[in-house]
Homo-oligomer: A and B are copies of this chain.
């Protein structure tokens, strides 16, 4: 069963796309336990969101449940994985082989979710020719040449914040269409370029603040 990508993908709201992986994670767990069916109510209860929201989110995916029984778990897992793009390999270049960039190159988990980093680029000449986790590192000067050879259009941005804008412009000029931005900088790019911001350090700020608030509540 295919996920009807061609007609509906423009219309999937980002909050839905962010929740679908939660449902997938839970469905995989249920599948592992050997259950055959799963209802949106069960998903909602375990994930602490509203059941009507689960049903609405799943309406974007091409799957239908059976009344009083729910979704076929195996089918739900397959359809969600394909819909979310986790079953395809999306090849990507990484820009900025510093601490976080190197860490992401170490993370084989990304491949399980469909992203394969095939090369890292850096301005440091001493890094060129080395590798991390069998992924080669090149000098940034070689990016355009390698982009033309491979057609890779996803770029992971892990440069220092003061280089974020400059490097994102190099990426776009060289053919990158989607930028996964791990810097805390809000890069400005042409309208037709996709930017996904993942500032893990901003999440730290939220956690520290909540932890302090908690401490003070107990004083």
The answer on a CB contact under 8 Å between A161 and B194 is: no
Pairwise interchain contact B209-A84, C-beta atoms closer than 8 A: yes
**Contacting residues, chain B, for A162 (C-beta < 8 A):** 28-29, 32
Q: Is A56 positioned at the interface, with any CB of B under 8 Å from its CB? A: no
Q: Is A9 an interface residue (CB 8 A)?
A: yes
A20 close to B205 (CB less than 8 A): yes
Tell me, rounded to whole Å, the shortest Cβ–Cβ distance linking A185 to chain B.
Answer: 5
Tell me whether A85 and B204 are in contact in the complex, defined as CB-CB below 8 angstroms, given that A47-B186, A99-B108 are known contacts.
yes
Contact B10 A208 (CB under 8 A): no
List, in ascending order, chain B residues with CB within 8 A of A186's CB.
22, 26, 46-49
Complex contacts, A102 vs chain B, CB 8 Å: 106-107
- What residue of chain B has the Cβ atom nearest to residue A6's Cβ? B216
B184 touches A25 (CB 8 A): yes
Instruction: Report the bound CA distance from A213 to B17 in whole Å.
Output: 13
A62-70, A109-117, A118-126, A136-144: which lies at the interface: A109-117
| Residue from B22, B108, B180 in contact with A204 in the complex, judged by beta carbons closer than 8 Å | B180
Q: Which of A45-101 contact B (CB under 8 A)?
A: 46-49, 84-86, 88, 90, 98-100
Interface string of A175-219 (1 = CB under 8 A from B): 001101001111010001010101111111111111111101100
A106 touches B109 (CB 8 A): no
With known contacts A114-B204, A205-B84, A184–B99 Cβ distance under 8 A? no
State the CA gap A192–B216 with chains docked (Å): 12
Q: Which residue of B lies closest to A107 (CB)?
A: B103
Asked whether A207 and B107 contact (CB < 8 A) given A161-B28, A184-B24, A185-B26, the answer is no
Report the separation of the CA atoms of residues A211 and B152 in the bound assembly, to the nearest whole angstrom: 12
A84, B208: Cβ atoms closer than 8 Å = yes
List 14 interface pairs A-B (beta carbons < 8 Å), by A numbering. A5-B216, A17-B206, A18-B205, A21-B184, A24-B184, A25-B161, A32-B162, A85-B208, A86-B201, A98-B109, A102-B107, A110-B204, A114-B204, A200-B200
